[in-house]
Each structure stands twice: as structure tokens, then as C-alpha cells.
Amino acid sequence: MPQHEQLRNTLPHQPHDKYARYVLQISRIAADLIRLTLPPGLLEEIDLDTLASGKESYVDSQMAEHLIDVCYTCRLKSGRPLRVSILFEHKSDVPDTPVYFQLLRYIVHINSAELKQNQPPSVVIPILLYHGARPFKKEAPEDIFSEYSAGFHEMIPRYEYYVADVSNLSSLEHFILAEMMTQHFFEVLRAGRNPYIIPEVFKEICSFVLNNTLPDVELSFYRVSTLYFTKISPDFITKFFADMENENETVVEQYINAVFTPENLPTMLKRIENIEVFRKQGIEEGKAQGIAQGKAQGIAQGKAEGIELTIGTFLLKVPDMPDDEVANLFDVTPGYIRKLREKLKKG
């Protein structure tokens, strides 16, 4: 069995959630998201220097399942012995049921565990990290119970939660993110929604790692990010990890750790550049041939054939690009692209 097939068969389910939960346990990234998400009034009172991972957090090196999302604790700058719990929840798509109740369940779980340990309950601040393709609409209790009159709304449990929407962060918000890891984290999550941009993001990561001396926690982050790419895009394995050393490894984590090294990164960058050059050549050659034929014939049929030749040449050069991406590039319908692929297969 080819190496990339072996790797593909070991990929776990829910890679988005497992990757996000793993990375959120890096305290420097967690602190960045807190600074980005919470209102200034709360940030002025919270001492992020005391940020520590809560007991509710659990994940192992293989990004295994766990029972509750990542939780941190910290204290107030005033010095009062009041603990604040920061709860991170991650969603890669708009949930079918209100996230309001899921977060409420976590809050009750955290406070109940504290009371059982004879600790005073902490104030829990939920932060939802979202990177879905559809816009996320924050739920209000009144909307969830809209069929009830205002008098019943007084019975609804109330709390506030905050949303960090990766797809809608402004350039200013990106600027204030102190950690380069956090910026790369967001870019990797974006690539998780659009695997076609993985080569661009991976190139940026490889260049950064190659040009910087990184501590173990950062190098582990970039290795896990690479592992995440293999879980969401089998083509990524074929394109970037073929013919590398340790080809016979069968465990994905071991394979990534062996390949993602300073010694191998120049080869990875060269491979990315070759793929980009090949793609650009395909676009330019297809356009040139299509335009030339269309002009030579000078009739509607010639134009149609020119367009078909343009796109057909491109598809032969870049066969892995999704139909909708090709359609957007050449301003045609995905159905046209599918029919053209069938025609090319038949010769």
C-alpha cells in the first residue's frame, strides 16, 4: 500500500475540533484570544500573568477525545482571592442546536466541581472560537424562548459569552495579536475551510520555522498544524510528503515529526514553489491558446472552442483543483467544468 494511503487510513474523525482544542491549550495563544475577545473593562481587571490551565482541560499528543472543552483559570489584578475561569468552546460550523445551552452546561459543570471540592465558585467567562463557512449569529435567550411572553423570560438562566469569529477578524484585530503562533493558528483554521489555500499557508509556516529558532512548544504547534493539514486534505500528503525520508513510517504523528525538520524544510519549500509555478504555467498556457484560437476563427463557435481549450488546458495542468474553484476562475458554471472533465477523460 502506498505511504499516503497508509497515512490517510489512520486519520481520525473531527479533525477541526481536535486541532483547535489541542492548540487552545497553548497558554500564549489562549491569552491572545482573551485579549482579542473580551471587552476592555474586563481585561483591565483580569491578571493574565496568572493564567493557568484548569483541571477540566484534557488532550493528549494524538489529539484524543475529551469530555469538556479547554478551560483556564486566573485571578484579578485587584489581588482579591476571586478566581475567574475562562472557558473556550470551538465550532467549525453553525450548530444545529443553540450553543447557549452547551456553554451553560459547561458553566454548571465547572461551578459544581468547585463546590464539591469546597472551593468558592468562580465566575466563568465563555469564549466561542468559530471558523465556519456560514456567519455565526449569537443567540439571545429571548430569541430561543421567543414563543413565551416577557414574564416568562425572567425565568431564563442568563449569562454572557463572547465570540471570536476567525473569518471576520478585522486587520486591526490581527495587528494586536501579539503571538505569531496565533496569527498562524487563524490562517490554518481558514485553510481548514478552504483546503485549496493550504499550499500558501504551509509555505508561510515553513518559511517562518526555517528562519527562526523556535522553542519546543512552538515547533510542536507547527508540527500539529501540518498534521491537521494531512487530516483534512489527503492530496496534501501526496503533494508535499512523497519521496521524503522515513517513507515507511505508518503512524502519522511519527511521520510528521520525522519530516517536519529544519533539514527537510528547504525541500518542502522547493516543492511548494514547483507546484505554484506549474499552476501558473497552466493558467497562462491555457489562456494564450484559447485566446489565439478564438481570435483566429473570429466566430461564436471559435470563441466557445477557445474558452473550452483554455479551461481544458488548465484542467490538464491542474487536475486537482475543485470544480467550483475552476468555475470561479474562468467565470463559468461548475456544471460546465464537470462536463468538460468528462469530455477530456473520453479523449
Closest CA to 46 of 76, 86, 72, 73: 76
Total residue length of the chain: 347
Helix (H) or strand (E) holding 12: none
| Final residue of a structural domain among 161, 178, 195 | 178
| Final residue of a structural domain among 144, 178, 212 | 178
Among the listed ranges 2-11, 142-151, 170-179, 278-287, which one has the minimum average pLDDT value?
2-11
Task: Determine the average pLDDT of the residues in 247-275.
Answer: 65
Same domain, 155 and 17: yes
Residue 264 domain-assigned (yes or no):
no
Kindly report the pTM of this predicted structure: 0.67
Sign of CA dihedral 49, 55, 57, 59: positive
Residue 326 domain-assigned (yes or no):
yes
| Final residue of a structural domain among 178, 202, 231 | 178
Closest CA to 268 of 222, 318, 232, 314: 222
Number of domains in the chain: 2
Q: CA geometry: angle at 112 spanning 109 and 118, to 5°?
A: 145
Split at pLDDT 50, 70, 90, the class of 279 is low
Split at pLDDT 50, 70, 90, the class of 202 is confident
Distance CA 38, CA 84 (A): 13
Residue 102 domain-assigned (yes or no):
yes
Residue 316, domain extent = 274-346
Residue 304 domain-assigned (yes or no):
yes
Distances (CA, A) of 249 to 129, 163, 255: 34, 40, 6
pLDDT at 278 over 70: no
Distance CA 177, CA 277 (A): 32
Distances (CA, A) of 277 to 260, 272, 273, 317: 23, 9, 6, 11
The amino acid present at 304, given as its one-letter code, is: A
Same domain, 283 and 153: no
Residue 253 domain-assigned (yes or no):
no
